[in-house]
Amino acid sequence: MTASHAPAPRVLVLAELRRELRAWQAMNTQAERLHLTEARMQNAWTWRELLAHLTAWQEVTLARLRAAPDGAGLTYPAWAGGQNPDGQDLNAVNARIQAAARGQSWPQSHAAWERGFAEVLERAQTLSEDDLARPRDWLDGYTLLDVLRGTLTHHREEHRLGAQRWLDSQAGRTRAAER
């Protein structure tokens, strides 16, 4: 394939987001089927708390996408004190996220994550290639494509791979216990 026929970055990122959504949906189904949504994982979070964490960071992505194209009305989530959480102490930020998620049920956490991911996809699809690829002063020179890639990295590399390994190990234990 020549460079002139290569898919546009927007198309590639949207396809990756859809794949990531499907992967998480399958894992969520597996966690629910195995009754693992409240079991503690290796990082001491439950599956429900992990989804609440991912949902909170989706809120940051959504704040940025909602403010496109000019940054007007950019409002970060309340758990971030209305400020950009990127420069804040990550442990403190994650503690605030977990505190805000206390009391949420699995169905609430799961539904909020699904809604958030769907809105990320919906908003990304409405923006043109130029809107997504143009560096933004209000994003410290980053593009909205960078924001979407950051969401992918956070879901996939920082959380999905470890979460999938944990789920697989729990599924193996469940099968062994059934024998």
Q: What is the pLDDT along the chain (179 residues), one digit of tens a residue?
A: 445 567 789 999 999 999 999 999 999 999 999 999 999 998 889 999 999 999 999 999 999 999 988 899 999 999 898 999 998 999 999 999 999 888 899 999 999 999 999 999 999 999 999 999 999 999 999 999 999 999 999 999 999 999 999 999 998 776 555 55
Q: Rounded distance, CA 110 to CA 124, Å?
A: 21
pLDDT value, residue 7:
72
Contact 16, 152 (CB under 8 A): yes
The residue extents of the domains of the chain are 3-178
Contact 132, 124 (CB under 8 A): yes
Q: Which residue has the tokens 């980053």?
A: 142
Q: What number of CA atoms fall less than 13 Å from residue 178's CA on the CB side?
A: 7
For 78, the token pair is 């309340």
DSSP code, position 35: T
Apex 134 CA angle, 141 and 130, nearest 5: 170
Q: Rounded distance, CA 98 to CA 149, Å?
A: 24
| Architecture in CATH of 3-178 | Up-down Bundle (1.20)
pLDDT value, residue 1:
46
Q: Rounded distance, CA 62 to CA 20, Å?
A: 17
pLDDT value, residue 101:
87
pLDDT value, residue 42:
86
β-partners of residue 46 are: 40
Q: What is the pTM of this model?
A: 0.89
pLDDT value, residue 102:
87
pLDDT value, residue 175:
58
DSSP code, position 85: G
